[in-house]
Amino acid sequence: MPLTLTMQFNLLMYSIIAGLITGFLFDIYRGIRGLNSIKIITVVEDILFWVLTALIIFTFLLYTNYAFLTPYVYIFIIISLLIYLKAISSYFYSLEQLVIKKVNTFFRIIFKNLIYPIKIVFYKVIDKSK
């Protein structure tokens, strides 16, 4: 049974969205992973990432287009992933790094402000015991 034009268009659009989701997840993974010097851990992380991404994309395609996995779906996923990586990835990755830096700064300030009164009390107790 041939697919209607609407179903073919939806298949195309959901394939493109799946490629964009893959690129988005890859940028998030790249930001989380950072520079890891231990090769075996990097290999395990990469395998786990791609398995998780494959499951997410398959689930997305299952719910959106009944998991029609024709060669065109793979082609459009790869094309949209490449477009994402070339056009959007650098902007998103730098924004992600900025957000991570600001969140780390925020938590570091909160932690230091919470620890400061404890340090004062601790040093007062130690000075009185001498």
Integer-rounded Cα radius of gyration of the chain: 24
Residues whose CB falls within 8 Å of the CB of residue 16, separated by 6 or more in sequence, listed in order: 76, 77, 79, 80
| Tokens (6 digits) for 76 | 């459009």
Instruction: Report which residue type is found at 78.
Output: I
pTM value is: 0.77
> Could you report the average pLDDT of every consecutive run of 10 residues in the chain (130 residues)?
84 93 93 80 90 93 84 92 95 92 95 90 76
Q: With contact defined as beta carbons under 8 Å apart, do 68 and 11 qualify? A: yes
State how far the Cα of 127 lies from the Cα of 33, in Å rounded to an integer.
Answer: 44
Smallest Cα–Cα separation from 67: which of 129, 15, 123? 15
pLDDT of residue 130: 62
Domain boundaries, given as residue ranges, for the chain? 5-92
Long-range contacts of 68-77 (CB under 8 A, 24+ apart): 68/3, 68/11, 70/11, 72/11, 72/12, 72/15, 73/11, 73/15, 73/18, 76/12, 76/15, 76/16, 76/19, 77/15, 77/16, 77/18, 77/19, 77/22
Look-up of token digits 């300030």: 109
